[in-house]
Structure 1
């Protein structure tokens, strides 16, 4: 029974997973942290299976974000598959015109390749992204984190847009309310903010919150 309790405590409960739109969202956020740390192989493994999952099993936004993680992992000299990976991500995003993932700071290193890929598109998503990329030209990039978030801090940060209370978060993660408060205090400190709203905004700037 003790082992069962440990296993339950090691993962978010169903309520949290539903608010996150599935565990894929946590996987994508974890992968972004790994990319930021230079661990591209681990990042790709974190989202393994999300892009090719059967229709209906993964939220379209999560699928696009996972495809972008795979593309980001190819940003290195001589990465011939980068353009193909970006085209795939754009094709996945096109039906619902999901533009925001392509403007995240998490994919800023893709910009030259993204500009090329978007220029070749003649659909509504391409037109929308061309305008958004033009407006974003010259905008300052958010300052990256000096101290990375832990896996549990990241999971709690991703929950914040749902407006779940500290009590609800504690119940979902099988921890005490005081533990949640301690995690939030650490998250705020690392993000340089003092409120949930600012934490979500900063997380989105950094590309770790969808």
Structure 2
């Protein structure tokens, strides 16, 4: 490429760029490619800001990406689209690049989220790796998590084999997003943490994809009831791909709500949706955004705002199962328990499946609250247990922090079921715990408190602690007074909520 550049041979430069551009872009070595682009620009028309040949223009886009020059990358891709070349490899590289960036391809009206199943696979190995990662990104945008994982897995394997570390970083970040979209929060969090911890993750070439992983980590933290971690996620670096900025902003907005700043959180969620405009995002991400904003609006007593975001989700994804939950919450807020039952009935009847917004867990918690309202305590307890059973394997805690107070009180009885279920319920009850400041317990009061979640009677607790039953009763009355409760169940619930029980 250097020799061709010195010779000023534009045609040879374009041929070499078409052959070696995917390798250089995948390895993060923009130097030789930048030299070729500069030479081609110098050899071209005097008014050309960049080479017009599609092969060189796509390579120029990757040079800009490696330098963090996002506007330049977009402009180069626009020039590549306008090129009339019919070189199949040039078009394959262009399409792969556009798909990763979530933009429309140059192949007609079809969007990047709709890859044609009959597209031939390139024979050149590095280009084939780019194409597989691009197809995975397109499947991710379309909400097809299984296909995304398949394509990204194949692209990652090829990138590792060929030493294309920049492409591999990109693929790993997108794979973390695919895991999250599939509802596998723990594995998504692990994958995202690996991406963020890689050497050079915040460099210009890798930062946009590191932002993908950070957005995944923020949503995983939000779902496991760690809003402080979600709120701490940087909101820059994701500007290259609009869906990533949107995902980061709604995670931060949801975290603000969970941390008690509901008005600021709702405004952040609404602003993120307005900024997104008509940009396509995966259905699962749209549902997460709608559920976070809808719940915040209802909590603040703004049913009109809640209805607006429900309409937004219905307009974008009319078949989204999250709409049933949205309608159920709205019915409860309107004092229509029958309407809430009708709204969530299809969700309860279907086979449970993991989602990034824990839809089935939320539906069963809503069902439990509805049964409590109808004085059906056995049914309410069974529904709450179903929610726990679905949430525990995926470490889903946030829905319990927002659950009906009566449902949370029912879960106190689950603390006596034994590990590991009881351990998860304890964490679920502590989700969203407030500071225990101002509640000072003596050592003996704390000893008694730790035994209240068990099935032991007060006589048995007295025997364990080798004190009289009257002493235990005195400690229990003192505990009730400090916690502001009148029953054993409520004492355990409030102690968990105040962070006094681990």
Q: Report if TM-score (shorter chain) is over 0.5.
A: no
Query: Relative contact order, CA 8 A, sep 6+: which one is greater?
Result: 1
Task: Give the TM-score, by structure 1 length.
Answer: 0.43
Task: Give the TM-score, by structure 2 length.
Answer: 0.20
